[in-house]
A = this chain, B = another copy of it.
Amino acid sequence: MINAAVFGAGRIGKVHTHNAAGLPGVALRYVVDVNPAAASELAGTYGAKPATIEAALGDPEVHAVVIATSTDTHADLIQQAAAAGKAIFCEKPVDLALERARVCAEAVTRAGVLCGIGFQRRFDPTFAALKTRLDAGEIGEPETLLITSRDPGPPPVSYIKVSGGIYKDMLIHDFDIFRWILEDEAISIHATGSCLVDPAIGEAVTIRTRKGRLCQINTTRRAAYGYDQRFEVLGSAGMLQAGNPRPTEVTASTKRSVSTDIPEPLFFDRYRVAFAAEMKYFFDAVGSGKSARTDIHDGVKALELAEAATLSWHEQRVVELDV
């Protein structure tokens, strides 16, 4: 039995808690939150106890922690949990400051603990199936990756203000997808668009890779028709496209049009299956000793791209990356 503690009883904390608590072989022991009432309530629902950070990390029978607190607390918690020898799952991003994220990565490496980062898209059934088929050589050598990453509406202004901008907040997922799908690193990046922090027309990013490939990303915070998160890989022998899941498979034909459902309008519905698979994978890894699908170094790498994109955007020029 793997004993677990969850840090953070907010929206994403509840999702992870629900998914972790339902796993065979996992016992949820503690929920920690700055708001004790929230911790108590969430803990109670799943037969766990509220606790302080110190109590949770100090319990030698806790094997694994799930960090789902606000971004500014990630780095401290990762370092403390690593020092305590716990397996760690931490929501993205590791930190908004690249230097601090690197310090975390070193702490994790030094402690030799498992540390998975919450890029849940790698666990989306469609995205994961595409990756498997790409790796199997179905379309030959990948050459170009196009990512469409659109949210249906902007987050609250209060969130945007501390989010580090659209590249660190939203596109960081796409930077991770880019590295995961192509298994390649950026040598240059060009980012342009309307605005970093406001909901606006959107951003366009172009990445060139070591192996001479191209990646184009387009994004916006307001797609009228729902979460639109697709990508396509053009390879030497064909193309693989990952489309959006739809709530239902109803088609309506009327005088005006033939129509189907829009993509899932809510983030947690869009990635419901991915979040569950992500938690399962993490605890399987804790139990079996296998490595994380996205580790803290991936988290640092995605942040490097987000920083470079931000720089490119500010200086309106192509930014070269050290490789």
Binding site for B on A (CB under 8 A): 22, 125-126, 129-130, 133, 138-140, 143-144, 146, 148, 150, 188, 190, 192-194, 201-204, 206, 208, 212-214, 216, 218, 220, 222-225, 228, 234-245, 247-262, 316-318
Contacts and interface: CB of A to CB of B under 8 A. Distances in A.
Contact of A218 (B144, B244, B245, B260): B144
Given A192-B208, A224-B253, 16 more contacts: A129-B250, A133-B250, A133-B252, A139-B252, A139-B254, A144-B218, A146-B148, A193-B214, A203-B214, A220-B234, A238-B252, A239-B254, A257-B257, A258-B260, A258-B261, A317-B318
B223 A239 contact: yes
A201 B220 contact: no
Contact of A201 (B212, B224, B254, B318): B212
A135 to B, nearest CB: 13
Which of A22, A144, A202, A228 has the largest number of chain B CB atoms within 10 A?
A: A144
A125 B247 contact: yes
Nearest to A312: B318
Contacts of A126: 248-250
Contacts of A146: 146, 148, 218
A149 B270 CA distance: 29
A124 B139 CA distance: 29
A212 B194 contact: yes
- The list of the 8 closest CB pairs from A to B, nearest first, reads A243-B249, A257-B259, A238-B254, A259-B259, A225-B253, A126-B248, A239-B253, A241-B251
Contacts of A225: 238-239, 253-255, 258
Nearest to A251: B241
Contacts of A237: 224, 254-255
B143 A202 contact: yes
Contacts of A22: 22
Contact of A261 (B208, B239, B241, B257): B257
A241 B148 CA distance: 13
Nearest to A239: B253
A216 B252 CA distance: 19
Contact of A236 (B133, B224, B234, B235): B224
Contacts of A202: 143-144, 214, 234
A110 to B, nearest CB: 39
A256 to B, nearest CB: 7
23 contacts: A22-B22, A125-B247, A133-B252, A139-B254, A143-B201, A143-B202, A143-B220, A144-B202, A188-B192, A190-B190, A192-B318, A194-B212, A201-B213, A206-B216, A216-B216, A220-B234, A223-B239, A225-B238, A225-B239, A240-B250, A240-B252, A257-B261, A259-B260
Given A250-B130, A252-B139, A204 B224 contact: no
Given A202-B214, A236-B224, A257 B255 contact: no
A203 B143 CA distance: 10
